[in-house]
Amino acid sequence: MSLPSMASVEPTRSKYVDDVELYRSDLRRYLAEATWVAEWRAATCSSAEQRLAYDASVLRRLYADGWNRYGWPEMVGGHGGDEIHRAAFYDELTAALLPVPNQQWTLETLGPALIAFAPQLAAERLGAYLRGEEWWGQGFSEPDAGSDLASLRTRALDDGHGGLVVSGQKIWTSQGGTAHRFVVLVRTGSTASRHRGLTMVLIDADAPGVTVRPIALASGRRELAEVFFDNVRVPAQRVIGDRDGGWEVAMYLMQYERGMYGYAVVTAALAQLSRLRATMVARSASAADKQRFARVYVATMVAAARGAATVRMLARGQTLGPASSIDKLLFTTVEKDIQDLIFDVRHDWMMNGADDADPADVDEVRADWWYARAATIMGGTAEVQKNIVADHVLGLPRGAQ
């Protein structure tokens, strides 16, 4: 695909912002014709750290050619557009059977909140995220505060100069072992104040007093980390939103975790189903496996349809509210079901490999299965999400105490 001349770049950007279908079709052509994309599609990595490093190189290429910058405001290095452009980006990765770069998962969750509540900080820092130069961890969960964030105990005290001093521990931080910064929810009010006494801050991973300990999962990959804060100084400029207003930021962030992140998960799942279908056809799958594949495929398309409606709401600036728990239930369920289907259909290959199998390829597929064990737990358990739907969406009566 020939690159446009500099004289044509600005008009093309404007056209893509105004016409998402033009952006979609040209991105599709780019992914089909760019010589380096085949390497991206086939790349396998033997560790979480190696995967993130490789995906960072992918983002650098995409950024240089402009394709991952649509849907993000110009102030952070984007080209403009909205969430629908970002959804189209994930759609086209799926159509090309390409994986979503791992940094996108946290960017989709953390980036919009930073733009909305700390625009100056977003302008300074998010461009590097888009370029693959850095990525961040989301410091919410604690050993005694998982789905109930209002009970968190990581403490932030006023330093007397407008900043904060943070002490405490976070756990299960995705990509935490290699993260350059952490978006951390801390307690600035009393424990009794619950969600009214929380504040969101951005902390550098190499700041004095920060200790990061990667957590190896059952797969052996260090996908997560626990992070300790020992009197870490946070300047006032690193507060996201208002002091004691962290709950509002967290709820805004959760919309994107349920919406854009969820939509990306579903599109990635559809790509996995496409690859699995090819394997099943080549190996003459049983009737039972075909029926199971059909059920999972229908459930995935339901999640995709729901996700597309949610993306449109975000693009219109609408608040998702508690109904976003439905999105999470749908996409986490299909994520786990697809991995279980892959495991059962390719059981011998996943357990024993094959003489001609790439060990790194087998290892990555196994790691995906292991990671999916937590799909319906992380970010708020399925049981909690069902209670939210029952109480706040359906208005069902509470059971006897």
Active-site residue, 257 included: yes
Question: Contacts by 357-365 with C-beta closer than 8 Å and gap 24+?
Answer: 358/44, 359/46, 360/44, 360/45, 360/46, 361/44, 363/44, 363/46, 363/219, 364/44, 364/45, 364/51
CA 168 to chain centre: 24
List, as one string, the DSSP characters of 127-147.
HHHHTTS--EEEE--BTTBSS
Q: What stretch(es) of the chain map to CATH 2.40.110.10?
A: 136-244
Query: How many angstroms separate the CA atoms of 96 and 66, rounded?
Result: 18
Q: Are strands 136-139 and 181-187 parallel, antiparallel or unpaired?
A: parallel
pLDDT at 255: 93
pLDDT at 162: 87
pLDDT at 10: 59
Query: How many angstroms separate the CA atoms of 71 and 135, rounded?
Result: 18
Nearest to 105 by CA among 339, 331, 343, 316: 331
pLDDT at 11: 65
Q: What is the pLDDT of residues 273-301, one digit of tens each?
A: 999 999 999 989 999 999 999 999 999 99
Averaged pLDDT of the chain? 91
Mean pLDDT of 244-259: 93
pTM for the model stands at: 0.91
* C-beta of residue 31 within 8 angstroms of C-beta of residue 98: yes
* C-beta of residue 129 within 8 angstroms of C-beta of residue 136: yes
Q: What is the pLDDT of residues 185-208, one digit of tens each?
A: 999 998 777 788 999 999 999 999
* C-beta of residue 219 within 8 angstroms of C-beta of residue 176: no
H or E stretch covering 391? none
CATH 2.40.110.10 fits 136-244, yes or no: yes
pLDDT at 6: 35
Query: How many angstroms separate the CA atoms of 262 and 267, rounded?
Result: 9
Residue 313's SS3 state is helix
Query: How many angstroms separate the CA atoms of 299 and 330, rounded?
Result: 8
Q: Indicate the Cα dihedral angle 30, 33, 39, 43, nearest 10°.
A: 50
Nearest to 112 by CA among 322, 332, 259, 304: 259
CATH architecture of the region 259-393: Up-down Bundle (1.20)
Catalytic residue among 92, 108, 257, 364: 257
CA 360 to chain centre: 23
Q: What stretch(es) of the chain map to CATH 1.20.140.10?
A: 259-393
The contacts of residue 108 (CB under 8 Å, 6+ apart) are: 86, 256, 257, 260, 261, 264
pLDDT over 50 (residue 5)? no
Give the residue with greater pLDDT, 126 vs 371: 126
pLDDT over 60 (residue 4)? no
